[in-house]
Amino acid sequence: MRVRYAFGIAVTAALLAPAGVAVQGQTPAPAVKKMAPPLRGTVEVGYMMSAKRVGDKIVTTFEVKNLSATGSIVALQIEQFFYDKAGNPIQGTGDRQRLKQPLQPGEVTTIVLTSATVPGMTSPAHKFTFRDGQVKPVLLKTMK
């Protein structure tokens, strides 16, 4: 009877010993970034913009920075649309992109808008919006 128990304990110890070694060899999980509380009302967003023609498309790249020091901007969205010489909006042009993650205080991200070119389109317009209020865009010379 004692032999059976001794054998069972030995097998259990042999199976559990490698598990302890494997736990010691694992790297710890990366630290989770602390999220700032979401902003409400009017927020300021700094941006830099560049546009270029690629084939039959216009690609506009925005570098966007949250100028707030205290809160994050949730669901920031940029819309682009074009007008003709008479000032009428042209259908079939423009793009809209929304950030999937909140923009943290001081964080910089890139948003790319792509639009088809249409004869007669002259001037683009851009609209910044977010989930909980209005956006005041500020054109920056550099992203500090």
Indicate the domain borders of the chain.
41-139
pLDDT cut 90: percent of the chain above it: 56
Q: Supply the pLDDT for residue 101.
A: 93
Higher pLDDT, 19 or 116: 116
Determine the average pLDDT of the residues in 57-84: 94
Using DSSP, state whether 75 is helix, strand or coil: coil
Q: Could you say which of 3.40.50.800, 3.30.230.10, 2.60.410.10, 2.60.40.1620 is the CATH number of the domain covering 41-139? A: 2.60.40.1620
**Phi, psi dihedrals of residue 122, rounded to the nearest 5°:** -120, -60
Cβ–Cβ under 8 Å, residues 39 and 72 = yes
Least confident of 8-17, 87-96, 108-117: 8-17
Q: What is this structure's pTM?
A: 0.72
Span 6-34, pLDDT tens digits: 666 766 666 666 555 555 656 766 666 67
Of the candidates 122, 143, 121, 128, which has an alpha carbon nearest to the alpha carbon of residue 42?
Answer: 128
